[in-house]
Amino acid sequence: MTEPSQESRTSGRKRTLLGAKIIFNGGHSVFDCVVRNLSETGAMIQIENPLSTPDSFDLQLSDNRLLACEVRWRKINSMGVQFV
């Protein structure tokens, strides 16, 4: 998985600093994270260890929105997700 180029994004990004939670394993596993940018179709998430998250999970934003996500790329302390 590699980071998409600017041209491959389908919607504009908005820089954010939102607290959020990555939820998986039927709600039994929860990781805190920070959403660094957000669009209608995806987000960039800052997390201590992105390799510890599964390829798909739910993202609960601080306003309690729950978004189903699939990982598109991972770096040392961040990952990009697409909303499904």
For residue 67, give the nearest of 36, 43, 51, 48 by alpha carbon.
43
pLDDT at residue 6 greater than cutoff 70? no
Strand 42-46 to 29-38 pairing: antiparallel
Q: Is 26 helix (H, G, I), strand (E, B) or coil?
A: coil
- The structural domains of the chain, with segments of one domain joined by +, span 18-83
Kindly report the pTM of this predicted structure. Answer: 0.83
d(CA 59, CA 69) in angstroms, rounded, equals 7
pLDDT digit string, tens, across residues 17-27: 999 999 999 99
> CATH 3.40.50.300: does it fit domain 18-83?
no
**pLDDT value of residue 46:** 97
Q: For 12, what's the count of Cα atoms within 13 Å in the CB-facing half-sphere? A: 1
